[in-house]
Amino acid sequence: MAEAVVHDVLGDGHGEHGADHHDMTYTRKAAMWVFLGSECMFFGALISTFLLYRSETRDGPTATEIFDIPFTSASSFILLMSSLTMVLAHHAFHRHDMRRARIWILATATLGGLFLAGQIFEFTEFVHEGLKLSTSPFGSSFYVLTGFHGAHVAIGVIMLLGMFVLSLSGKLNHHEGLNVELVGLYWHFVDIVWIVIFTVVYLLQV
């Protein structure tokens, strides 16, 4: 199968080294998509759990009482725009425009950091209003779901900052385009998960 794939990618007349490189590119991208598919299942399980327990608030506050939709909408917009800056970083990298790629990578990491800061602020507010991890099944499922998403964003920000530092030291050049693409795929995935969470967990509950 690998030979067919390489032939498909390269056509005839390419050397063995080029074939190996493209074979590896294909394999790594395929592995990333398999990983993202499995992540869909992971977040699917967490969202299912939230939907199952969303009305079990016990003595704690309900979603309608504590959710601040305008604030979360602004956070969602920030994360959406980070997907734009990420794809622009990838595009600039692909065109060997390292300076612009660096700017967009840093912009993406900054927007991710802003989203995380918003989430920490939101969690702090909720705790002050009486919703803790152990308050109710609603609280537990909400914090576990949004917390895991936040952890994914944090990992993404670390990877982006790592890429930025590597590019400054010249260790990330245009030959490393696949690494940027894979980090980009991960980042966009984090964004699409939030698109679902924002609708299902926030908008549909108020």
Partner 1 sequence: MAAPGHAEPTPRTYWLIALFLGVITAIEVAVAYVDALDPVIAPILLTLSAIKFGAVVGWFMHLKFDRKLFRGFFLFGLIGAPLLFLVVLATFHALV
Count residues binding partner 1 (CB under 8 A). Answer: 50
Instruction: Tell me the CA distances in angstroms from 67 to 77, 80, 163, 174, 203, one per residue in order.
Output: 17, 20, 35, 44, 9
Residue from the set 23, 39, 68, 176 that interacts with partner 1 by CB under 8 A: 39
Does the footprint of partner 1 cover residue 23 (CB under 8 A)?
no
Query: What is d(CA 108, CA 120) in angstroms, rounded to the nearest whole number?
Result: 18
Q: Tell me, what amino acid is at 18? A: G
Instruction: Tell me the CA distances in angstroms from 135 to 33, 49, 67, 140, 168, one per residue in order.
Output: 37, 16, 16, 7, 46
Does the footprint of partner 1 cover residue 63 (CB under 8 A)?
no
Residue from the set 19, 63, 84, 161 that interacts with partner 1 by CB under 8 A: 84
Considering only the stretches 27-35, 105-113, 118-126, 157-165, report the one whose residues sit in contact with partner 1 under the rule CB under 8 A. Answer: 27-35
Query: What is d(CA 34, CA 49) in angstroms, rounded to the nearest whole number?
Result: 23
SS3 138: helix
Residue from the set 133, 144, 166, 192 that interacts with partner 1 by CB under 8 A: 192
Does the footprint of partner 1 cover residue 70 (CB under 8 A)?
yes
SS3 172: coil
Residue from the set 4, 12, 15, 38 that interacts with partner 1 by CB under 8 A: 38
Detail the DSSP E strand segments found in the chain: none
Contacts to partner 1 by CB under 8 A: 8-9, 29-30, 33-34, 36-41, 43-45, 47-49, 51-52, 69-70, 73, 76-77, 80-81, 83-84, 86-88, 91, 94, 177, 181, 184-185, 188-189, 191-192, 195-196, 198-200, 203-204, 206
